[in-house]
Amino acid sequence: MKQLVTGDEAAAIAAKLARVKVISAYPITPQTIIVERLAEFVANGELDAEYIKVESEHSALSACLGSAAVGARTFTATSSQGLMLMSEILFVASGMRLPIVMANANRSLSAPLSIWCDQQDSVAVRDCGWIQLYCENNQEVLDSTIQAFRIAEESLLPVMVCFDGYILSHTAEPVEIPEQAEVDKFLPTYKYPYLLDPEKPITMGAVGVPEYYEEFRYMLQEAVLKSKEKIIEVGQAFGRQFGRKSDLIECYRSDDADVILLTMGSLSGSIKEMIDEYRGHGERVGLVKVRAFRPFPAKELVDSLGHAKAVAVLEKDFSPGSTGALFSDLSGAFVNSRESPLLLNFICGLGGRDVSSLQIREATKAAMEAAKTGEVKKTVRWLGLRETMVGLKP
């Protein structure tokens, strides 16, 4: 059944449909509606789960460690500063191989204080060993959250489902809500193989002395790399059952494109509209959307971008002193490959600034220019930056 719901509502409905057993979270804008809805579901008996109230995000994720360790399907949600406060425990969750699912409503980081959207929060913790999926629309928020539980449980890794704050979290649009019985079929009862059980005591999270630490880190790396296959497999299984399949990346009119735009998250939709316009004028422009940022789909991106003359990476984050994170990962993906398209980086939409069609056109134009001349004038540009304010122009 189709319903008009916001991204936050879609995430909450998905967690409910997944029959989560434990929710522990702390409210933070723009994620709060997720935990409010889940608290309502638990309170009115629609969802048979334990809602653990805590005093901070650090505690929220710590509680999730415990519940995941006893084999309960576990969900949390956060955003921005909350994710930062969780960061210590993020690494513990992946290192302990606990299949926790988190919804992260992407929001910028202080300072300056900002409650609005960009992707700096989840990008900042890209190295924490979690799988990260980014959503284009509210349907993907629901679909990816349901899939996240199966990916997490079958690869013993925590999964973060990221979606743009406000632009998705607070935007209402039609979402196909699957039947409970269908979701039950897709997500059978889950059994954690290393159950923490007083009847059969084990030790979890023991010290990793220098003789062992590196092996455990290597196994984490292998697990996250291997989860690529799981993400594809689960995406296909979901497609077979619900008619909407997901993958690591999505290619939109990019097969024969000379210029390809690359992005992740809600910006993809606006870019698709622009692509159709360009195609209407005979311009060979396409989009590749990154859904899985971790594991990074390096091979898939090289395969789908390699034929282009220029690739413009639009992203709502940057690594101060370097480039955008997606851009640097993409550059790394092309290392040692014989041919690489020219790569351009556009930092945009920081702190909730609207990425308008005008800005998308500006990036496309620059990439077309590079494709034509074979030269990149400026590798990293900031879209919408008011240059007089930062002293670039008098």
Partner 1 sequence: MNGMIEIRFHGRGGQGAVTAARLLAEAAFAEGKYSQALPFFGAERRGAPVLAFTRIDSRPIRIRTQIYEPDYVVVLDPSLLEVVNVASGIKRDGLIVLNSKKNAQFSNAKSAFVDATSIAKEMLGVPITNTAMLGAFAKATKLVSLDSLINVIKGRFFGKLADKNIAAIKAAYEQTKVIT
Partner 2 sequence: MKLPPSTIILKPGNSEQNETGSWRSLKPVVDSKKCNGCGLCWLYCPEPAITKGKPVVIDYRYCKGCGICANDCPVKAIVMVEEGQK
Q: Contact between 208 and partner 2 (CB under 8 A)?
A: yes
- Select from partner 2, partner 1, none the partner in contact with residue 115, using the beta carbon and a kind-dependent cut-off of 5 to 8 Å: partner 1
- Select from partner 2, partner 1, none the partner in contact with residue 208, using the beta carbon and a kind-dependent cut-off of 5 to 8 Å: partner 2
Reported residue count of the chain is 394
Looking at residue 235, its amino acid is G
Is residue 26 a contact partner of residue 57, using CB atoms and an 8 Å limit?
yes
Helix 210-242, helix 138-155: angle, nearest 10: 130
For partner 2, the binding residues in 93-152 under the rule CB under 8 A are 95-97
Provide the pairing of β-strand 159-164 with 101-106. parallel
- The rounded distance, in Å, linking the Cα atoms of 377 and 370 is 8
Q: Figure out which of the listed residues 41, 116, 163, 238 binds partner 1, where binding follows CB under 8 A.
A: 116
Q: Contact between 225 and partner 2 (CB under 8 A)?
A: no
Q: Which helix (H) or strand (E) holds 228?
A: helix 210-242
Q: Contact between 263 and partner 1 (CB under 8 A)?
A: no
Is residue 317 a contact partner of residue 349, using CB atoms and an 8 Å limit?
no
Q: Figure out which of the listed residues 137, 227, 254, 364 binds partner 1, where binding follows CB under 8 A.
A: 137
Which two structure tokens, joined as six digits, stand for 15?
A: 């967690």
Question: To the nearest whole angstrom, how small is the minimum distance from the Cβ of residue 214 to partner 2?
Answer: 11
Residue 196, number of CB atoms within 10 A of its CB: 17
Q: Which stretch binds partner 2 (CB under 8 A): 105-113, 180-188, 195-203, 367-375?
A: 195-203
Tokens 């989560």 -> residue: 20
HSE-up (13 A, CA, CB side) for residue 39? 12
- Select from partner 1, partner 2, none the partner in contact with residue 225, using the beta carbon and a kind-dependent cut-off of 5 to 8 Å: none
Q: Figure out which of the listed residues 58, 170, 244, 381 binds partner 1, where binding follows CB under 8 A.
A: 170
- Select from partner 2, partner 1, none the partner in contact with residue 163, using the beta carbon and a kind-dependent cut-off of 5 to 8 Å: none
Binding track over 265-294 against partner 1, x by CB under 8 A? -xx-xx-xx---------------------
325: phi then psi, degrees, rounded to nearest 5: -70, -40
Tokens 């370097």 -> residue: 322
Residue 358: CB partners within 8 Å, gap ≥ 6? none
Q: Contact between 207 and partner 2 (CB under 8 A)?
A: yes
- Select from partner 2, partner 1, none the partner in contact with residue 205, using the beta carbon and a kind-dependent cut-off of 5 to 8 Å: partner 2
For partner 1, the binding residues in 348-377 under the rule CB under 8 A are 354-357
Q: Contact between 223 and partner 2 (CB under 8 A)?
A: yes
Question: To the nearest whole angstrom, how small is the minimum distance from the Cβ of residue 351 to partner 2?
Answer: 37
Which two structure tokens, joined as six digits, stand for 118?
A: 């960009």
Say which DSSP state 113 is in.
P
Q: Figure out which of the listed residues 32, 59, 62, 171 binds partner 1, where binding follows CB under 8 A.
A: 171
Instruction: Please give the residue ranges that form the binding site for partner 2 (CB under 8 A).
Output: 95-97, 156, 194, 201-208, 212, 215-216, 219, 223
